[in-house]
Amino acid sequence: MSKRQVIDISTEEALRQTDIIHILAQHLKDKNLKYCISTFGCQMNARDSEKIEGMLEEMGYQKTAKESEADFIIYNTCCVRENAEMKIYGRLGALKNIKKKNPNLIIALCGCMMQQDIVLDTLKKKYSFIDIIFGTYNIYKLPELMQTRFETKEPVIDIWDSHQDIVEDLPNTRKHAFKACVNIMYGCNNFCTYCIVPYVRGRERSRELDDILNEVRVLVADGVKEIMFLGQNVNSYGKTLSTPISFAKLLLEASKIEGLKRIRFMTSHPKDLSDELIEVISKCDNVSKGIHLPIQSGSSRILNAMNRKYTKESYLDLVEKLRAAVPHIEITTDLIVGFPGESDEDFLDTLDVAEKVRYAGAFTFIYSKRTGTPAASMEEQVPEEIVKNRFNKLLELTKGYIYENMKKYVGQTVEVLFEEISKNDKSVLSGRTDTGILVNVRAPEAFIGNFADVKIVDTKTHYLIGELAK
């Protein structure tokens, strides 16, 4: 199939779903219906939820934060860790009671969790009151699935086991008028032995360069100043296209778009971070100087068991290369404690990396066994007590390093994009630096969505405190 044929099919499908949205909008007109959406998991899920919200609002639904007053409730689920799944099951029990009081309530589930056969079987047996179930490959089909549910009054289950088309041209919402996320690719080809993502989101497939750049131009024309490029592994962007292209090339072309003040991206896999990409980060002023670079473990032996395809030494070399090219770059990471077979020596290697790199932020997790992944059946599962002790030690250590890193900003003046009012103090605004560091500043609400110079006067472990520069 040619590139043009693929584009035509995707456009045709988007138009078909748009037509259904308009039909539903007429059907639901003047009913004052409300929807409530809960999103679990990563930025990719958050972006999918924006699309879901856009479609629902185009149909005439209004958003509410209260499930008790909603006419349509949807959970966009995650299955990366077991506790995320347990949280979903716990909340479904409460929804059953809500539906008893409101038989017209529509309940929908979607996302990664739905792609697992064992979950689907459980939902069919124990949660038959759910109206619509769909997965990660067909988010864009929500209007059609809703139409089917309204017409048949029967539960609708539509789970695909593989990807078909990338359909993007549908309504979506944005939390902020001044910044937006843009999917540049879907799926993952890495098959880390602990990770369920390739099984529930499929193999890598990249969007065409021109489609991405056109979407960015439209967003910038609509007032967006900051773009976040999203992918499970953005560094491998473009490899699956008919004419391969690098992520560095995409960043370079996007950086030329007039009015685009800042470009972020996540997530970067260390094995694919090229010298070309480092050069683009270094030379393009509007490409963020903050990078999320998950190491997962500091032990080369464990990294090999994880199928991460790099070593402790090569990772540290990469960090040095980044800092040589971009001296003020900030690096954040993910760390897993208690992977099967992790010894005391392996854990000490992880502590050693944390000490050497001095991360600006670290997401630290206890290994979660995921059925269907190779690691789930590995021998030498680490005892829970040992894992918890290691986790607490690593958490305490990284917090100390993060705080030490933050202290260097005191007295500096940095540029901040103000994003929202602080949850703890209505007179304080929160925003982020070019390197991704969170900053709280006492400032007028009118500053939200704008950049301003801020002098840092104090620091906490996970954020800076500043004042508007005079």
Judge if 174-288 and 290-407 fold alike in CATH terms.
yes
The token pair at 408 is 């260097």
What does the pLDDT read at residue 330? Answer: 97
Kindly tell me if the per-residue pLDDT of 3 is higher than 50: no
Kindly tell me if the per-residue pLDDT of 166 is higher than 80: no
Kindly tell me if the per-residue pLDDT of 171 is higher than 80: no
Model confidence at 197, pLDDT cuts 50, 70, 90, reads: confident
Kindly tell me if the per-residue pLDDT of 249 is higher than 50: yes
Kindly tell me if the per-residue pLDDT of 6 is higher than 90: no
CATH 3.40.30.10 for domain 3-158: no
What are 97-116's pLDDT values in tens digits?
A: 899 888 899 999 999 899 88
**What is the CATH code for 413-468?**
2.40.50.140
What does the pLDDT read at residue 8? Answer: 59
Kindly tell me if the per-residue pLDDT of 5 is higher than 80: no
What does the pLDDT read at residue 193? Answer: 96
pTM as predicted: 0.85
CATH class of residue range 174-288: alpha beta
Mean pLDDT, the chain, integer: 92
Q: Which of 9-13, 92-96, 253-257 has the highest mean pLDDT?
A: 253-257
Domain boundaries, the chain: 3-158, 174-288, 290-407, 413-468
Mean pLDDT of 184-195: 93
Q: How far apart are CA 441 and CA 467, in angstroms?
A: 5
294 contacts 331 by C-beta, under 8 angstroms: no
CATH class of residue range 290-407: alpha beta
Q: How far apart are CA 36 and CA 78, in angstroms?
A: 17
What does the pLDDT read at residue 2? Answer: 44
What does the pLDDT read at residue 81? Answer: 78
Kindly tell me if the per-residue pLDDT of 164 is higher than 70: no
